[in-house]
Amino acid sequence: MKTLARSGRRALAGAASVVLALSVAACGGGSDDETSADELDANADLSQQSIVVSNWADYMPADIADTFTAETGAGMEVTTHATNEEIMAKLTAGADSGIDVAFVSGPFAQALAEQGLVEPIHADLVPNLENLYPEAQELSYDEGNEYSVPYAWGTTGICYREDLVDAAPTSWNDLLEPAPQYEGKVTMMATDRWLMLPAQKALGFSANTTDEAEMEQVKDKLIAAKKTLLAYDDTTFYERLISGEAVMVEAWDGWCNYGTAEDPNIKFTVPEEGSDLWADTMVILKSSENKEAAHAFINYVLEPETHAWAAENILYNVPNEPAMELVPGEMKDQYPPLSLTPAELLEGEPLVDLGEAATTYTQMTTEITSSK
């Protein structure tokens, strides 16, 4: 098995839609011009084009620029960003960011599209779109993959030490209202959307709710839950499980796999009340002057061998059927979340951009995490 990439990638996602919608709206910078398919040349000489791709560190092969150039002739430079907010600040600053392709989470792609900052995906230039599972075209932030192409997808659940709990957790309430012996041994995420998620689902609400009365109930439940927490932790929760400091944590499926790699007693489960479906996507900036090469890059990523790298190294599912078929069976046995089917993932609620309501989530997060 290849070395696991354990970057801070998910501080990414973490990002929720939050401030982003407002910042995009404030910065404007959108364009009413849309490149028509006729303006893109499917036979363009890609050796005359060069692109800049911004991604989270370690989220694609280290040599991808070289292999992409070898296959297509197009030049490529890779830059990295730590969070969605960081890349959004660059993309919405008003001036040309110099970035041709950016990796952002689904709600952020939605916000960029609503502001006219991303190029529609020209399917004729990305024939490998046919490798995507049909379910990957049903994601509510961008049905039909009109302006984004999913790169990785997954869900959120409870990661736990099977050998340190009396029974496997089945409900978000196992985390929110832990049995007395587990108090002080559970963690939750502090990033807006994922902080709210367990309480929203436990109360039977949507993960995208903007109903004020519902959110007040969510806040009350989370303030009560804080008294039993070990910590809010978005990045090192699996390490707390490995050490035994924690016995149960809120976790993304892939990051729970990182813990399982160290201790097979670490398991992942999706609570019976349901969860989310998150996706990280690729978008082409409308400001790109090398759109044919940008499309060729996305097409290259969707090649089964290229895309399978992500599943085998970052341990997240990818929405690419032939790529997932390349993932060794023993790896799926070791990391059960890699065997989640598209239908099972789609049982989760896709996160969408909340628009101005994102501010409410941010304010509420502060109230909850600072409460006594």
What's the Rg (C-alpha) of the chain? 20
> What pLDDT shows up at residue 3?
35
Q: Which helix (H) or strand (E) holds 349?
A: strand 349-350
Contact indicator for 241, 314 with CB cutoff of 8 Å: no
User: Alpha carbon 63 to chain centroid distance?
Assistant: 22
Domain 50-153+278-350, CATH among 3.40.190.10, 3.40.50.300, 3.30.2350.10, 1.10.10.10: 3.40.190.10
Q: Which pLDDT does position 37 carry in this prediction?
A: 55
Spatial CA neighbour of 233 closest among 173, 296, 175, 164: 175
Rounded CA separation 65/63 (Å)? 6
Per-residue pLDDT of the chain (372 residues; tens, 9 = 90+): 333 344 334 433 333 333 333 333 333 344 445 555 558 988 999 999 999 999 999 999 999 999 999 999 999 999 999 888 899 999 998 778 899 999 999 999 999 999 999 999 999 999 999 999 999 998 999 999 999 999 999 999 999 999 999 999 999 999 999 999 999 999 999 988 999 999 999 999 999 999 999 999 999 999 999 999 999 998 889 899 999 999 999 999 988 999 999 999 999 999 999 999 999 999 999 999 999 999 999 999 999 999 999 999 999 999 999 999 999 999 999 999 999 999 999 999 999 989 888 899 999 999 999 998
The pLDDT, as a whole number, for residue 353 is 87
Distance CA 267, CA 270 (A): 11
CA 128 to chain centre: 21
Contact 175, 158 (CB under 8 A): yes
What's the pTM? Answer: 0.86
The CATH architecture to which 155-277+354-370 belongs is: 3-Layer(aba) Sandwich (3.40)
Which residue ranges make up each domain of the chain? 50-153+278-350, 155-277+354-370
- Nearest 5°: the CA angle 22, 26, 30 is 105
Domains 50-153+278-350 and 155-277+354-370 share a fold: yes
